[in-house]
Amino acid sequence: MAKLPILLYPSPIIRKRSLPVASIHGELQRFIDDMVETMYAAPGVGLAAPQVGALKRVIVLDPHEDRKPSRLLTLINPEIVAADGKIVEEEGCLCLPDLKEGVARFNRVVVKAYDRNEKEIVLEGSGLLARILQHEIDHLNGVLFIDRLSTAKRQLLNRRLKKAGRERGLG
């Protein structure tokens, strides 16, 4: 396994739409192992493939503090099929280090996906699990949590991000 570099905002790759995975072959299995290692090392509670430069519809997540490998979820071609409730909680992203903002999300989602063994699974999550699922599936569509903030908040933040980008020489 190998730790992969995480792309930082404003990388253009994290703004692209990822493509569905057609077959779960050996190379993809190794890539998923690398994603898992990268997520735990970050440390993060979730990671989407485009964050490490691969435009594939794959996410890994582990919302539990204890980090037992049995809690790890790998979802391939995940799709939200039902959602309800609304809740605002603070959220961050490995592509935008040091930034935390309150984001409104569904409180409960039902997600359909394939696991690593090509088995179709249906997963229901609420609270933190629901939040991570929505955040990571957004990544597969090139959407970042800052896109989900109010217009006023986003404008304020854009100015801050541009300034930080200039200071890092990113323009």
**Contacting positions for Co ion (CB under 5 A):** 93
Indicate the residue whose CB is closest to Co ion. Answer: 93
Catalytic residue among 27, 91, 120, 136: 136
In angstroms, the Cα distances linking 98 to 10, 14, 54, 155 are: 14, 18, 24, 18
Closer residue to Co ion (CB): 93 or 111: 93
Does the active-site annotation cover 120?
Answer: no
- Asked if residues 128 and 46 have their Cβ atoms less than 8 Å apart, the reply is no
Closer residue to Co ion (CB): 28 or 133: 133
Q: Say how far apart CA 41 and CA 106 lie, in whole Å.
A: 28
DSSP 8-state secondary structure symbol assigned to residue 14: G
Kindly state the smallest distance separating residue 132's Cβ from Co ion, in Å: 9
Going by C-alpha positions, the residue among 15, 56, 41 that lies closest to residue 142 is 15
Closer residue to Co ion (CB): 24 or 49: 49
Kindly state the smallest distance separating residue 14's Cβ from Co ion, in Å: 8
Kindly state the smallest distance separating residue 144's Cβ from Co ion, in Å: 7
Q: What letter represents residue 75's amino acid?
A: L
Active site residues: 136
